[in-house]
């Protein structure tokens, strides 16, 4: 089966290749008769267009390059899904590059130098493929300024920060503020918090929100109720135990990710502390499994899908020359109420 191009169909339909092109793209009026004839031949010869050739001419590929730091990290697939929804709607295609950071550099991804080569290669490949724009998806909200140079190609970052280009992020500070407010309205005053590593932006932002809420609601500020974790389950377990062993333990606990929250649950159980009866617990991330734990935990949802979708919208605006309106309002987190919080009665 030889390749059939518009030339072949032109010959068989007794028209010029131009006409074929025009009926294919509806880019000029063609006599219905001719048009039909051409269409019939296209059908018969099972013509398949070649977008490569088309792109070469038109200088537009209608494809967006997506660089994901690691597609196996929980936040990434949903962000890509949001990108896809936009892409589907506007008939764009996605070229995906997976940096595979986790498997390649482990948890050392804060050290930008360690994977700059990978990132630079990804960008070169994408540029060579003439993508119309690039979206960079981080696996941890940190500053990634200077990692790559996309040249003239528009780029939008998400789930990470950058000083020079647009980055789409959710509002961490607001989110933890909301969580504390929620707990406060349930009657809790002595609210403990387990943060992530404090060299991370979201940890600081979330702590800011916590502190702001504590101030606004005039809650007691007790440093021993503040624990710094490392995002891992074991640290959630250990720190929750410490909290529970306090002479005057907190009645509620905000844990800055669901994995540590799973550790909190384990700690509580091992000490005979019931959740939520004796301790209210709020997690962060709304990981799928937070609904599988026992009790099902109340947690802060991340607007991942929306971040992907917004990134695309912003990128397309930039590509369209509308830089002004590219910056979207930041996607918001909303609390998912489940079973791990009870009102404080006493």
Chain residues in the site for DNA (CB under 7 A): 3, 5-7, 14-19, 21-22, 24-25, 27-31, 33-35, 49-50, 53-54, 56-59
Q: Is 293 in the site for its own copies (CB under 8 A)?
A: yes
**How long, in residues, is the chain?**
346
In the complex, what is the shortest distance from the CB of residue 320 to DNA, in angstroms, rounded to a whole number? 17
Q: From its own copies, DNA, none, which one binds at residue 204 (CB under 5 to 8 Å depending on kind)?
A: none
In the complex, what is the shortest distance from the CB of residue 90 to its own copies, in angstroms, rounded to a whole number? 13
**Tokens of residue 274, six digits:** 């019931």
3-state secondary structure of 24: helix
Residue 67 C-beta-side C-alpha neighbours within 13 Å: 28
In the complex, what is the shortest distance from the CB of residue 49 to DNA, in angstroms, rounded to a whole number? 5
Residue 33, classified by CB atoms within 10 Å of its CB into exposed (0-12), middle (13-18) or buried (19+), is exposed
The interface with its own copies within residues 134-193 (CB under 8 A) comprises 151-152
Q: Is 25 in the site for its own copies (CB under 8 A)?
A: no
DSSP 206-246: HHHHHHHHHHHTT----GGGEEE--SSHHHHHHHHHHHHTS
The answer to whether 210 touches 254, Cβ cutoff 8 Å, is yes
In the complex, what is the shortest distance from the CB of residue 131 to DNA, in angstroms, rounded to a whole number? 15
Q: From its own copies, DNA, none, which one binds at residue 85 (CB under 5 to 8 Å depending on kind)?
A: its own copies
Helix ranges (DSSP H) in 26-114: 32-44, 51-58, 75-89, 101-105
146: number of Cβ within 10 Å: 11
The interface with its own copies within residues 47-106 (CB under 8 A) comprises 48-53, 55-56, 61, 63, 66, 70-72, 74, 76-78, 80-81, 84-85, 88, 93-98, 100, 103
Cα gap 210→193, rounded to integer Å: 8
The interface with its own copies within residues 187-216 (CB under 8 A) comprises none
**Tokens of residue 196, six digits:** 């992530």
Q: Is 130 in the site for its own copies (CB under 8 A)?
A: yes
Residues at the site binding its own copies, with contacts judged by CB under 8 A = 1, 46, 48-53, 55-56, 61, 63, 66, 70-72, 74, 76-78, 80-81, 84-85, 88, 93-98, 100, 103, 124-125, 127-130, 151-152, 233, 259, 262, 265-266, 269, 287-289, 291-294
């Amino acid at each position: 089966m030889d390749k059939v191009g518009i030339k072949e169909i032109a010959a068989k339909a007794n028209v010029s290749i131009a006409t074929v092109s025009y009926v294919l793209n509806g880019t000029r009026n063609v006599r219905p008769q001719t048009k039909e004839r051409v269409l019939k031949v296209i059908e018969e010869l099972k013509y398949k267009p070649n977008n490569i050739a088309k792109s070469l001419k038109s200088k537009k590929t209608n494809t967006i390059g997506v660089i994901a730091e690691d597609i196996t990290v929980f936040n990434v697939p949903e962000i890509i899904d949001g990108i896809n929804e936009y892409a589907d709607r506007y008939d764009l295609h996605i070229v995906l590059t997976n940096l595979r950071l986790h498997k390649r550099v482990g948890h050392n991804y804060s050290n930008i130098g360690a994977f700059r080569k990978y990132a630079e290669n990804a960008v070169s490949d994408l540029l060579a493929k003439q993508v119309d724009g690039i979206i960079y998806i981080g696996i941890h909200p940190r500053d990634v300024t200077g990692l790559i140079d996309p040249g003239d190609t528009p780029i939008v970052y998400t789930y990470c920060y950058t000083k020079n280009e647009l980055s789409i992020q959710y509002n961490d500070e607001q989110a933890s503020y909301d969580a504390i407010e929620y707990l406060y309205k349930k009657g809790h005053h002595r609210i403990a918090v387990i943060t992530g590593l404090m060299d991370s932006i979201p940890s600081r932002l979330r702590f800011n929100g916590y502190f702001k809420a504590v101030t606004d609601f005039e809650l007691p500020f007790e440093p021993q109720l503040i624990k710094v974790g490392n995002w891992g389950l074991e640290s959630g377990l250990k720190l929750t135990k410490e909290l529970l062993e306090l002479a005057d333990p907190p009645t509620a606990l905000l844990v800055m990710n669901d994995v540590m929250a799973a550790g909190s649950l384990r700690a509580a159980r091992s000490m005979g502390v019931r959740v939520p009866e004796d301790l209210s617990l709020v997690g962060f991330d709304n990981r799928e499994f937070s609904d599988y734990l026992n009790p099902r935990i109340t947690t802060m949802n991340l607007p991942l899908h929306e971040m992907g979708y917004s990134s695309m919208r912003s990128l397309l605006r930039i590509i369209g020359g509308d830089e002004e309106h590219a910056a979207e309002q930041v996607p918001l987190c909303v609390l998912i109420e489940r079973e791990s919080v009870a009102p404080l009665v006493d």
